[in-house]
Structure 1
Amino acid sequence: MTHGLAKKPEWLKLKLSTGEHFAATRQLLSGLRLNTVCRSAMCPNLQECWSKGTATFMLLGSVCTRTCRFCAVDKTALPEPPDPGEPEKIALAVKSMNLKHVVLTSVNRDDLADGGAGHWVSAIRSIRSVNPEVSIECLVPDFNGTAANADLVMQEAPEVLNHNIETVPSLYPAVRPQADYRRSLELIGRAKAVFGLSTKSGLMVGMGETGEEIAASLGDLRNSGCDIVTIGQYLQPTAAHLPVKRYVTPEEFDEYKHRADSLGFRHVQSGPFVRSSYRAEAFVEAKPLPERSEKKPESLSNP
């Protein structure tokens, strides 16, 4: 239900298809008992991605400590302690799926002293120990604004450091009540300025924002050093979640892409079904990334 909003337009009707890769991916992930944002967040691209043998691995369990009203990830149960075997299982899954680019994300774990940063580090190192040629994209939480915890992940030099601002600042109280717009921009800026990482962020539209607000947020991201941006339609996961205010047309998504391109983003994906990790490998394939550096910034002390 969308509280009186007209039925979904034709451009939001997916053609579902499954095949050999879909079944194999589902069996592999289920067998290893791994969480994916594809399933936990009810991603509309699950069929396409799994059919191609790709997935976004979600660290630190399937229960989030935040109450964001747009997200389908469980927020009602108590989060369990991190599974120490998870990093190795993900590394094995990456090898079995023969991935060239892997996306890691996680729930927010404000209950943990380091926000889960140490577990992130273990996952990155495990993947690289088994799959040294794979490129890694880390879609990180804000670690509750603790730079030292975020730094632990950034020091591992992922090929892409992703953190979503999700929406425009005026909607944060309704959409992301425990997050902070400026804090998210600062995290992206730090990844670029201090660590020199390729940076990425994402926005959802259709929640009540204006075109002017989207333009302003794109400018904020670019000014913070963001290289890559994704823009997609918000879709209400359940009746208990934030309602969709309107369905943004494909033509408007093209306008957003044009705006982002004009600001100098290195890569832009803008469309109704675009999600933060959708076709994430396209950027790496189209724009070769700098060689991985093991050197830590001089402004930081070792953890």
Structure 2
Amino acid sequence: MGGCAEGIRVGKPKWLRRSLPSGPEYEKLRQLLKSRELTTVCQEAQCPNQFECYGKGTATFMILGERCTRNCGFCAVAHRPVEGPDESEPMRVAEAVVSLKLRYAVITSVTRDDLADGGASFFAETIRAIRFCSPKTLIEVLIPDLQGDWQSLQTILDAGPDVLNHNIETVKRLYSRVRPQAVYTRSLALLTEVKKKKKDMITKTGIMVGLGERAEELLETWQDLRQTGCDLLTIGQYLQPSSTHLQVKRFVPPEEFEIYRDKALGLGFSGVASGPFVRSSYKAEKLYRKALVKSRERE
């Protein structure tokens, strides 16, 4: 299928249409987030799964504010200006985890290139706050590239997350258009560095399709990711947030996502979630459990 014209959003195919569930759990979570002045990537990035996840009492918390210092062509999160971090945020996130009785919490952030450590200390503080308030909760962090500052990465690892996630987002050829302030090799280097610093840490990444990538480029990217030792992979359809964002070049049919999953698993990933609605933190606990099983099989 061809892409849409500049400044135009085309209608979604039938496999990308879904009902929007609601109910008491959805409303409970929405009110909790509002009362604690917390932000979720579900809302800010216009995730298509937010109604489903809210309805099940889960969410991905986004720390370090609502505005990003970068301007990626695919992302719905607002950009500059940014404010200083809120010192009370880590504990407020932890209290929300307790209130929601979460078994698995995902913490991400906007990219904060304006901060000396890229926000690493806030990730660490949030992890420690959750550990203090809810010791049994598993924690996944989805982090920016930290501009290649491996000491900042160490700060996050020292806090002891269960999964370290960093999204590659797209193939190398499209980086200058999709992620103009990021570097493909730097993202690979970050995932490699995690394994060097903490070889047992489960690493994870995500990629979008439908931006004009070619099949052979996807395969090359997955091979590059496996070279870093990356354990888990998510593959989802890019959806254009607004007419000012990058166009959808192609809507990938569900059966093709199944082919992607099988090919990626064949390369050695411990777990792969692949589908039109898959996002990096969607059903994250389930994917984590798959990685644990694979790890035990290798022992």
- Report the TM-score, using the length of structure 2 for normalisation: 0.94
Q: Is the 8 Å Cα contact of residues 271 and 290 (structure 2) preserved in structure 1?
A: no
The yes-or-no answer on 1:244 pairing with 2:235 is no
Range with bigger deviation, 277-286 or 23-32: 277-286
User: For residues 63 and 131 of structure 1, what CA distance do their matches in structure 2 show?
Assistant: 28
User: For residues 113 and 10 of structure 2, what CA distance do their matches in structure 1 show?
Assistant: 38
Number of residue pairs aligned between Structure 1 and Structure 2:
290
- What's 2:53 paired with? 49
Among 232, 253, 267, which residue is 1:228 paired with? 232
- What's 1:84 paired with? 87
- What's 1:195 paired with? 198
Amino acid across the alignment from 1:105: T
**Deviation string for 1:195-215 (max 9, x for gaps)?**
121000000000000011001
Aligned-pair CA distance for 1:281? 1.1
**Deviation string for 1:133-173 (max 9, x for gaps)?**
11100100001111111111012221100000000000000
Q: Which runs of 5+ in 2 are unaligned?
A: none
- What's 2:97 paired with? 94
Amino acid across the alignment from 2:241: P
Q: Which runs of 5+ in 1 are unaligned?
A: 292-303
Pick closer, same or farther for the CA change 1:5–1:106 going to 2, 3 Å.
closer
Aligned-pair CA distance for 1:7? 2.6
Amino acid across the alignment from 1:129: F
- What's 1:300 paired with? none
The residue correspondences of 1:1-303 to structure 2 (distance < 5 A) are 2-3=4-5, 7-75=11-79, 77-196=80-199, 197-288=201-292
Aligned-pair CA distance for 1:264? 1.0
Q: Is the 8 Å Cα contact of residues 231 and 291 (structure 2) preserved in structure 1?
A: no
Equivalent residue of 1:246, what SS?
A: coil
Amino acid across the alignment from 1:245: K
Aligned-pair CA distance for 1:50? 0.2
Pick closer, same or farther for the CA change 1:210–1:158 going to 2, 3 Å.
same
Amino acid across the alignment from 2:173: S
**Deviation string for 1:192-247 (max 9, x for gaps)?**
22212100000000000001100110111111110000000000001110010010
User: For residues 247 and 83 of structure 1, what CA distance do their matches in structure 2 show?
Assistant: 39
User: For residues 61 and 256 of structure 1, what CA distance do their matches in structure 2 show?
Assistant: 34
Aligned-pair CA distance for 1:284? 3.2
Equivalent residue of 1:202, what SS?
A: strand
**Deviation string for 1:84-111 (max 9, x for gaps)?**
0000000000000000000000001000
User: For residues 287 and 234 of structure 2, what CA distance do their matches in structure 1 show?
Assistant: 11
Which is richer in helix? 2
User: For residues 277 and 43 of structure 1, what CA distance do their matches in structure 2 show?
Assistant: 10
- Identity of counterpart residues, as a percentage? 50
Structure 1 moving runs of 4+ over 2 Å: 1-7, 283-291
Equivalent residue of 2:272, what SS?
A: strand
User: For residues 162 and 263 of structure 2, what CA distance do their matches in structure 1 show?
Assistant: 25
Aligned-pair CA distance for 1:286? 4.2
